[in-house]
Amino acid sequence: MNILLKSATVFDPKSTHHNQTVDVLIENGLISKIDNNISCPTNCDEINLENLIISNGWFDASVSFGEPGYEDRETIANGIEVAAKSGFTQIGLNSNCYPYTDSKSIVNFLKTKAVGTAVNIYPIGSLTKKSEGTEIAELYDMQQAGAIAFNDYKKGTQNANLIKIALQYTQSFGGLVMSYPSNCNIAGEGLVNEGINSTRLGLKGTPALAEELQVSRDLFLLEYTGGKLHIPTISTQKSVALIKEAKAKGLNITCSVSADHLTITDDELASFDANYKIAPPLRTQQDVNALIEGLKDGTIDFITSDHDPIDIENKKLEFSHAIDGSIGLESLFVSLQDILGLDLLIEKITTTPQTIFGLSNSTITEGEKANLSLFTTKGTKTFTQEDILSTSTNSAYLGKKATGKVYGTYNNGILTLA
């Protein structure tokens, strides 16, 4: 599809057109011309969007759909449409399905489902077979098939020796090990963050210690073995401090944070709304402040939506029985640009995570492939059910302030508008 983006402000520090308002002509999937005033040629659609800004296509490194196994939560086809309309042209797809992504055949299946679509899917393989935490999965074979990392999604690996072996083994082919930060024995049957609110509301608490012990253990293992380790969705002040110290030692450690943990605290639990039941649990304002500071000083490498659709039968229940998880693709940008500013936010959903996972960094330059996110920073509203595009509607951000708007994406020769 050939298109002409009129009066688009380019946000790309690597481009000579950075912060300039220009017309951008895209033909056969490539940026063919950037100039102040371009006339639309034949066989071309002119796109005029109010206060349009374009950046390199966003990458969300932690996305779950349901397929295969839980298609009632979200099919891959619908999930791809949600991602594209939410500004994301690339996603890391978690092994949060059944069968688990623990073999090259499942990796190939997932990649095939994205062929010819507007979003590039990069599967994240299970670290262990069936994500059971007992036996290393076929890591090398999965990487050869296209897996970008290995993680037992939302399952803390309790066997320290298994993490040690994985870090040693993956060095032979440059694999990235991910370790979810939760010590199950300490976490116990906790439902929410252990603290004043859990006590006041009579809900079983999970102490921050459960996360911090696991982070500390994994950092010791990394120091011993070498290799590459990523800790996803950290949520506490102490975790930030531990990782900052490890980076100062020169360890090859990266970490990420979810948008919800930057915008919502456990004060919301007073409503007993199961949409606020997520993992890791929502923490305190002190933790939120530390996470934001960790992003600003580079301790935390990038942001994810941690998009995790849960069907209504498993979410609209008594709080203790509901499944953890919140969708987040639709709300990531509008929830964070006020808090972080555009420069930091775009960096944390483009260049930094793409580099960590070995993906190519595009640039808005003539002759380059058009891989673009389209949005505006103008306007404020309340995020409501009408803003949800996913099949499941379990958003922790409902009722919160939304700043700006995502118009959509252009990638793989496909324009997708919300």
The catalytic site residues sit at 306
Alpha-carbon distance 125 to 95, whole Å?
6
Does a cis peptide bond (omega within 30 degrees of 0) precede residue 353?
A: no
Query: Tokens standing for 272?
Result: 């007993």
- Alpha helix positions (H), 249-364: 260-263, 285-296, 312-315, 332-340, 342-348, 351-356
- Residue 187 tokens, joined: 């976490």
Dist. CA 278–CA 271, nearest whole Å: 15
AA letter at 212: E
Task: Extract the runs of DSSP E, i.e. beta strands, from 107-173.
Answer: 120-125, 149-150
CA distance 42 to 248: 56
Partnered with residue 395 across adjacent β-strands are 327
Spatial neighbors of 350 by CB under 8 A, at least 6 apart, are: 55, 56, 57, 58, 59, 361
Q: Which residue bears the tokens 């440059």?
A: 174
Eight-state DSSP code of residue 43: S
- The Cα-based distances of 130 to 66, 106, 214 in angstroms read 16, 12, 21
Cα–Cα distance between 94 and 92 in angstroms, integer? 6
Residue with the two structure tokens 């349009």 = 52
The dihedrals phi and psi of 76, each to the nearest 5 degrees, come to -65, -40
Measured from the Cβ of residue 257, the count of other Cβ atoms closer than 10 Å reads 27
